[in-house]
Each structure stands twice: as C-alpha cells, then as structure tokens.
A and B are shown apart, each in its own frame.
Chain A
Amino acid sequence: MTLGPILEVRDLKKSIKGKQIIKGVSFDVERGEVFGFLGPNGSGMTTTIRMLVSLIRPTSGQIFIDGKDLLSNHKDALSQIGCIVENPELYPYLSGYENLNLFAGMLKDVDDSRINEVVGIVGLEQRIHDRVKTYSLGMRQRLGIAQALLGRPKLLILDEPTNGLDPQGIKEMRVFIRNLAKNGISVFVSSHLLAEIQLLCDRVAIIRSGEVIAVGNVEQLLLSAGGYTEWYTNNFDETLALFQSHDGIQIIDREPDEENQDIPGQRICTIHSSIETPNLITSLTLKGVHIFAVQHKNPTLEDLFLRLTGGEQIG
C-alpha cells in the first residue's frame, strides 16, 4: 500500500482585515523526510505554521495531515502531529513531569510508561521532577520536544527549534532531529538559520510575501543557484578592468567567508564558465597581476535565498 504525503497543504490563503497575508501556499511533506521552511521576516511563515496547527483558521484552502482534513476532522488530524510553536512554553510553576502529565491527559493512549519513555528520549531524567522555572532554555527546549513526542506523532512541527540555543545545543538538536527522521517521524522545521536548514533538511520550501517561491530538494535547488569563483590579487583595478573587458564573465558581490580572512590581496568574485579560468589566470599574469588564490565556491542556501528573495533580510 502506498501512502500519500504526511502533510499536504493546498492553496492556503489567509486574509486579515481584508489584507491578504498568505496568497495561496501549497506544498507536500513526504513521509520520513525533514522538510525545511524558510522565509524572511513578515513573509507569512509564522502565520502559515500556525494554520498548520489550527491556531489560526485559514480563509480558504486545505490542510491534510496523514490524509485527514485538519479543518473538518480537527481531532483526528491533530492527533497525528506534535508541535512546538516558537518557544517551548510550558507551565513554569509545575514540574517537568507534571507538565507532561497534563498534556498526556489530553492525548489518547498516553500512560505513565510513555511519559517516562519520552523523558528518556530527550535525556531529562535527572531534572524531570524539578519545577520548569528552574530549567535552562536548553532543558525547556528538550521538555518541549518530549511534550511534542508524547502522542507518538507521525509528523513533528518545529518552529525555530534552535532559537536561543548555544552552538553545542544547536548541534545536539540537529543530531536529535536527524535521529527522529531515521525512526520514521517526518519533521517540518522552520528556521531563519539557512546553514542549519541546509545541514538538516532533505527538502525545503522558501516563502516570500505569502507565496512559496521555491520548493524542492536542497541539493537540486543549490545546483540551480550556481557557484562562483573567488579571486585574491594584488591589484584590484587591473583585475576588475580585465574581467570587465572579457565576454561571459559576471562580477558579483558576495560576503567573504571567515575562513579566508588571512589570504592576502584584494578579493573579487565572478561567475563564469570554469573552462575560462586558465585563460583568465594567464591574462592576469601577463598583465603583471599577482594572484594569491583562485577558489571555486559552492553555492549555499543563503546565496539561493538572497537571490530568490531579492536580498531581503532574513530572520
């Protein structure tokens, strides 16, 4: 038996006070994949996620979770998901265990042994009976995930799961999410950390101004973004003049990587066919320009993102 996508979003629209915020968003999340959701501030990303978990009622469109219509079959559809929307907000005056016990009561077939199981999964055994107000942000995040996993969801919706975590915590979270996916849980992650999404996700949807502008496999999308070449030379003006006189070479503006900061010379970035590179090197050498380094840079999701969103600030 073939099962359809775990999450189907069809032409989702939302208007607030006559203004259309979400203008027909559609995408699928396949079973067992980690799906990334990217968008700049005010792109409608948060509104879309809140519609997926029934916090906001769509103006029109459909959402199917495991084939169940969220709008008409609210209860069955929501039984299939676990979620953390923004920060993992729990009751600070209760202990971690009491919080989980509270939410277990609102789910089907969740008993004490399941609570202990999820506490074990997120590794909170030591502190689970302490009050949540004494927890660090990382511990709250883990308790939030325990809460989301409680009902044995088929789909996990995580809104900015690495928000506020230190680099170590971010890394742990990444490994954790990957493990979940290995165990067959589909994960829907929104993030403004492009590098995170690139490392974490199989597929990604990019949203801007309430519309999905790209959706697909991360690798393929990156390929479509194309790479570029980074030059370090001792004479910026000469180099620039030479490049400008050549056909089929485009000079672009890219932020330098931190790892290349100790290369001497001035930096210039180009897009051209790699076949041209030897010719360009010869020409530069003949003009007496010293070349310190020539590097081909693979595209990052950030490059793609900036190109697609026209340089809007993200996050």
Chain B
Amino acid sequence: MGEMQLLIRNEMIKVWKKRRFFVIVGILLVLIPIFVYAQMRISANVERQLGDTDWKAKTQQEILRYNERLSSPGILEEWKRTLQVQVQILQYYVDNDVNPNEPNGVTFTREFMRNAIGLFIPLMVLVIASDLVSSEHAGGTIKLLLTRPTSRWKVLLSKYIAMMLYVSLIVATIAFLCYAISGAVFGYGGLQTPTLTGFQITDNEVSFANVHLIEHWLFIWMELGLVWFSSLVVGAIALMVSVLVRSTAAGMGIMLATIIAGSILAAMASSWESAKYFFMLNLDTVGYLAGSPPAIPGMDLAFSITILSIWALASIIVSFGVFTRQDIY
C-alpha cells in the first residue's frame, strides 16, 4: 500500500474502533421503525376517512374531472400541462393497480430522505466528522501523529478522505435501512411507479413548464446524490471546525447550533434575502426535485449547489492552512 492509502486506512480504523458508526446504525435501527409505525397510523387514518369506497373508481372519476377541465376553452397553457401530467400519473395507478394512498418502501424512503436532509442526516455526519481532529488534540495523540515522517497536509487529507468514505457509508446505510425496514411493513414494490419532477422555481412561483414523469427508482437515486452532496459539505465544514476548535464538545456544539439555526431561519428568512448565502439554508436540495417552494425567493438547485460548494471549498482551504502551520503546545 502507498503512503496515502496507509494513512487513510489508519483513519478508517480509528473511527471504526471508536464505534461511532455503530452508534449511527443503532440510532437508525431505533428511529426508522418509529417513523414506519407513524406512517402506518397515518395511512390507517386516511383509509378510515375515505371509507370503503373503491379507490380505483375514485381515481377514474378524478381522471374524468381533469379531462373535462382540459377540454374546456380558455384554460391557461401552463395549467394544461400540469393537468396532463396529473392525468398521466393517475392513469398509471389505474392501469397498474397501484393504490396511490397506500405507502410502500419506496415512497417511505423517498419522504424520509427528503425530511432528513436538512437536520437528521447532518447530525449523523457530525457524529463522525466533528471530532476527527479535535479528539487528537484532546487525547494528545496529535503529538504522535505530527512527529511521524509524513507531511501534515497528507495527515489532514487522509482525514478528509476518511470522512468522505464514512459519509458515503452513512448515506448508503440510511437509504438501505429505510427501504429494508419500511419495505418489510409496506412492501418493497413501487420502484417503477412514476413521479413528478422538473419543477422550475422562478421568483415566487413554481413553473410547471418542464414538469415530466420519471420512475421512482431514478428519483431516489437523484435524491441520494443530493443528500450525499449536502452531507459531504456538512462533513467538510465540521472538519474545519474540528481543526479550529480543539475541544470536541465545543466543536460539536458550534456545528449543532449552526445547523439547527438553519432550520429555524428557513422558517422566518423569507424577508431577509441575504440569508440565502448561509450554507445551512441550502442543505435541503431535495426540495427542488419535488417542487416545494424554496425558503427564500431566488434560490434554486444550481444556486444551492454553488453556495454549498463555495462553503466546502473555503472550509477545506482554511483547515489546510491552519493545520499545516499551527504550533502544537
């Protein structure tokens, strides 16, 4: 193995032996069943409200209603498109005998990832990333690490790469456990059912001009890619804090406060436009896929990805600058 591989191997071993990853898996194994149960209750409620009516008959009625509106004169061109897509989806449900109100493993995973990207998954990333450097200071092992015949930048790079590998593993594990656990209850089907994407958000409105159907499995992959990217950004920033703040508890506190502040700000920042440059308001990139309006007008997928990239890049530059120069007392 080359020098870099050995350094990365060392970092992977340290995190593994600290059993941080097991903590994450443990949290998931407790929380996901709770959410699955909650979803079961919601579905049961919906069913009770709808009564015994045949869902297929109802859906067909709906299709008829949409078609009537489509054929009525004077309908806006934009509306027309949306309705057409809606009809397409409903027709798919009828043709393939899929009850749209019944959850399955795929829709559960999709919704879970979407809701978890802003807060829950970043917290899981912090469990691993927030003490990668500060724990070496706290334990004094930084003195061993930096007196080896190895450049400091290589040591830090190995930590960054280990962080990225663990973040990838975390995202994959969350997706896998979600699908496995919810599928056991709701069934594993639904990968081929269509869903909507291609929303364009202009200022205050959501444009449906480019809306089209894609199959769920593709949607989930796109979602996972975005979750992965947001998580890497959180990991990079956490690693910088870990370099700058030598106390693990303080570093963790700073990161937690920042990310939680993000979800609070998102709810109240619509009138404070420059808040959109905060990284924590841009973490929810999945929202753009599903067409939910952004926290602040003017934000879209490209904007958020750019802002997140800039933050991550700046964190990396700062942490390498500090780490390679700092005196260890």
Contact = CB atoms under 8 A, between A and B. Distances in A.
A51 to B, nearest CB: 9
A69 B150 CA distance: 15
Interface stretch (A91-99, A183-191, A231-239): A91-99
B9 A105 contact: yes
Interface string A79-117: 101010111011111100010001101111000000000
A75 interface: yes
Interface in B6-33: 6-7, 9-10, 13-14, 17-19
A-side interface mostly: loop
A106 B146 contact: no
A86 B143 contact: yes
Contacts of B151: 74-75
A94 B147 contact: no
A106 B143 contact: no
A147 interface: yes
A90 B150 contact: no
A107 B13 contact: no
Interface stretch (A37-45, A53-61, A263-271): A53-61
Interface in A224-244: none
Interface stretch (B111-119, B236-244, B267-275, B321-329): B321-329
Contacts of A78: 147-149
A55 B17 contact: no
Contacts of B10: 102, 105-106
A130 interface: no
Question: Which of the listed residues B1, B148, B328 has the most CB atoms from chain A within 10 Å of its own CB?
Answer: B148
A81 B144 CA distance: 12
Contacts of B146: 54-55
B219 to A, nearest CB: 40
A10 interface: no
Contact of B13 (A83, A85, A102, A151): A102
A172 interface: no
Given A89-B144, A105-B10, A56 B329 contact: yes
A98 B17 contact: yes
Nearest to B11: A102
Given A55-B143, A55-B327, A103 B13 contact: no
B328 A55 contact: yes
A103 B7 CA distance: 9
B132 to A, nearest CB: 13
Nearest to B145: A106
B139 interface: yes
A151 B144 CA distance: 13
Question: Which of the listed residues A78, A86, A91, A108 has the most CB atoms from chain B within 10 Å of its own CB?
Answer: A91
A114 B1 CA distance: 18
A312 interface: no
B7 A106 contact: yes
A166 interface: no
A63 B16 CA distance: 38
A147 B147 CA distance: 12
B148 A106 contact: yes
B144 A103 contact: yes
B15 to A, nearest CB: 10
Contacts of A178: none
Interface string B141-162: 1011011111100000000000
A171 to B, nearest CB: 26
Nearest to B10: A102
B140 interface: yes
B148 A107 contact: yes
B163 to A, nearest CB: 18
B139 A92 contact: yes
A302 to B, nearest CB: 28
A298 B19 CA distance: 58
B149 A106 contact: yes
A311 to B, nearest CB: 27
A56 B141 contact: no
Contacts of A23: none
Interface string A127-139: 0000000000000
A272 interface: no
Contacts of A174: none
A152 interface: no
Contacts of B144: 89-90, 103, 147
Question: Which of the listed residues B1, B6, B10, B149 has the most CB atoms from chain A within 10 Å of its own CB?
Answer: B149
Given A56-B329, A93-B18, A86 B148 contact: no
Given A90-B144, A105-B7, A105-B10, A74 B149 contact: yes
Nearest to A87: B140
Nearest to B147: A53
A269 to B, nearest CB: 41
B195 to A, nearest CB: 44
Interface of A: 16, 46-47, 50, 53-57, 74-79, 81, 83, 85-87, 89-94, 98, 102-103, 105-108, 147, 151
Given A57-B327, A91-B14, A94-B13, 5 more contacts: A77-B149, A78-B149, A91-B17, A102-B14, A106-B150
14 contacts: A47-B329, A50-B327, A54-B146, A56-B328, A91-B14, A91-B17, A93-B18, A93-B19, A94-B14, A102-B10, A106-B6, A106-B10, A106-B148, A151-B149
Task: Give the top 10 A-B pairs by smallest Cβ distance, nearest first.
Answer: A89-B140, A105-B6, A78-B149, A55-B328, A106-B148, A79-B149, A56-B327, A53-B147, A75-B149, A85-B143
